Chain A
Amino acid sequence: MLAEKYPERIKQIFAKYPDKRSAVMPLLYLAQEEYGWLTEEALREVAGLCDIDPTQARSIAGFYTMFAEKPKGKYWLQVCTDLPCALRGADQFFHELCEYLGVDPEHGGTTDDGLFTVEPVMCLAACDKAPVLQNNFHFHENLNIEHAKQLIEKWRAEAAAEEDKDDEAE
């Protein structure tokens, strides 16, 4: 439960606003950080904390692209394919990245091993540094497909190392 695990952070979030309801977005982020995506249970918890109906929490979650209503890969990659980026090759970059990861080159998707989710997104306000992608909300700019492949391999190695460590701990 979020309330038991993060009492201090939740207190700090509520302290920022005169109205509990304003905390819904920061709390959804917290829930997403904890559970990986916004499960039914997560939405209920957040709704309970801000005294709103779970349906209202779900409608907020569904309104924004950065809230995950379904499970995402460990590395959630969002590539801007909007006009300014597309003028500098972002569509092709997106297709090549999808092909490299073995997901649908038109719409993106999640790799079979659950490691990567790649999605096209709207403007990320970094048009001068196209092509651009966000990995779990952190920006990588001025990319080309070769850079991106190196990043993917770096993340793959990171994930494998973490898994080895977990195995040892067990």
Chain B
Amino acid sequence: MTHILLRNRDIPDIWQFETYTANGGYEALRQAVTEMTPDEVIQVVLDSNLRGRGGAGFPAGRKWSFIPKDAKTKYVVVNADESEPGTFKDRELLEKNPHQVIEGALIAAYAIQASGVYIYCRGEFWDLAHALEERIAEAEAANLAGEDILGSGWSCPVRVHLGAGAYICGEETALLNSLQGLLGQPRVRPPFPAQMGGGLYYQPTVVNNVETLSNVPWIIRNGAEAYRQIGTERSSGPKIFCLSGHAANPGNYELPLGITFRELIFEHGGGVWKEKALKAILPSGASGPILPATDEVLETPLTYEDVAAVGSTLGSASVILLDEDTDIVWAAAKMIHFFKHESCGKCTPCREGTYWLDRIYARLLSGQATPHDLEVLETVPQQMDGLTLCALGQFARSPVWATLEHFREEYEQYVGLREAKAERA
């Protein structure tokens, strides 16, 4: 299969400006800027049904169409804060096919007539971010970014901003605060980033994920109809699936949306390591509910709708495999420890809730938990439900309730309930 996103797999040195342009690179930007109106660009992306690849799956064209046309200052912010455990697709795109990200961002910027693009890279992308600045300079030198792009009179500098290690900055409003030199904590919405008062420097702003924007040049060149031929009707296009954990061949797999878990894991990913049986799947990193590896789950197509129908989320498609020997309580404890560490502390239910959960898991794993701990464990996620400003406090609930729902007996073993029951019997 030829890749649309991971073109570096077919053309290894596509990170070089000359190679990228020799293979059709920046032709889509040229086409957009010189032959299309901004509204026409938005319409094509709307028609393509490109949905946000950062996790929420919101249609990119609609996001762009929300930007008020009369606003003088507008921004495109590229979310390259990739931090979800199990996600490593944006890293490959930025490292190996960076010009396509820059081109996609510039097309988005043209569509909303932005005055600037900021690429917010997580701090750990240190080396990559510095290389990215060189790629941007190459685009600028060719009049594809910066002043008076392609003689159109439209100017749009592209800049890289480095985070410094905080998962919460992947949340779009926390990211904007971080970029403004404020604490990286989420904002109250509305106003949403696209609205006046809600975006970067409080100006209307489109925030898109790296992978989302990487789709855009292909869509412009090949048209919305061709794009919709890939994937399913409601979940269109290719997707990069990040396979990790107990996968035989962990890595990124670019495949059409709608392939099944079984196809991804066994046909493409080589199955489970050490020829073990598959126990469970985390389809969207630590943020989505765990699924037991039943036949029903394995036959589920990887689309936004179908994964939701079996009780989880597609999210950023960071598929973590857990083999038959995995201790589910331990795995949940790891995820909760992550959320406790990454909670920004702004909303009390999240700050305190993740702390309580982390303590209970520590007691469970050290064999000190009582049956009462298990009761508290169940109530804490309920007390966080719907009571936080951003999704982190909501995502942090699923490692608890979903593992309890599917693997309750493993918890009971940890608190010795089973033995007690057996004794009474």
Q: Which residues of A contact B (CB under 8 A)?
A: 16-26, 28-29, 50, 52, 59-60, 63-67, 82-84, 86-88, 121-130, 134, 137-139
* B245 near A50: Cβ-Cβ < 8 Å: no
Number of A-B residue pairs having CB atoms within 8 Å of each other in the complex: 137
* B126 near A138: Cβ-Cβ < 8 Å: yes
A25, A82, A83: the one within 8 Å of B181 (CB): A25
CB distance from A114 to the nearest CB of B (A): 22
Question: How big is chain B's contact interface, by range?
Answer: 35 or more
Q: Which residues of A contact B122 (CB under 8 A)?
A: 125
* A66 near B124: Cβ-Cβ < 8 Å: yes
* B331 near A83: Cβ-Cβ < 8 Å: yes
* Interface residue stretch chosen among B50-58, B62-70, B246-254, B416-424: B246-254
Complex Cα spacing A86 to B122, Å: 21
* A23 near B245: Cβ-Cβ < 8 Å: no
A25, A63, A84, A137: the one within 8 Å of B161 (CB): A25
Complex Cα spacing A84 to B251, Å: 12
CB distance from B356 to the nearest CB of A (A): 19
Chain B interface, DSSP helix/strand/loop, else mixed: mixed
Q: List 24 A-B contacts (CB under 8 A).
A: A17-B159, A19-B180, A19-B201, A22-B161, A25-B164, A60-B181, A64-B123, A64-B165, A65-B164, A65-B166, A66-B123, A83-B334, A83-B338, A84-B86, A121-B165, A125-B122, A125-B125, A126-B88, A127-B242, A127-B318, A127-B320, A128-B243, A130-B244, A137-B126
CB distance from A30 to the nearest CB of B (A): 11
* Residues 74 to 105 of chain B near chain A (Cβ within 8 Å): 82-88, 90-91
Complex Cα spacing A126 to B180, Å: 27
Q: Which residues of B contact A129 (CB under 8 A)?
A: 250
Complex Cα spacing A17 to B320, Å: 38
Complex Cα spacing A29 to B162, Å: 10
Q: Which residues of B contact A25 (CB under 8 A)?
A: 161-164, 178, 181
Nearest neighbor of B182 in chain A, beta-carbon distance = A21
* B251 near A63: Cβ-Cβ < 8 Å: no
* A123 near B84: Cβ-Cβ < 8 Å: yes
Complex Cα spacing A83 to B182, Å: 30
Complex Cα spacing A161 to B299, Å: 59
Nearest neighbor of B123 in chain A, beta-carbon distance = A66
Q: Which 10 A-B pairs have the closest CB atoms?
A: A64-B164, A65-B165, A21-B181, A128-B250, A127-B244, A137-B126, A24-B181, A66-B165, A66-B164, A83-B334
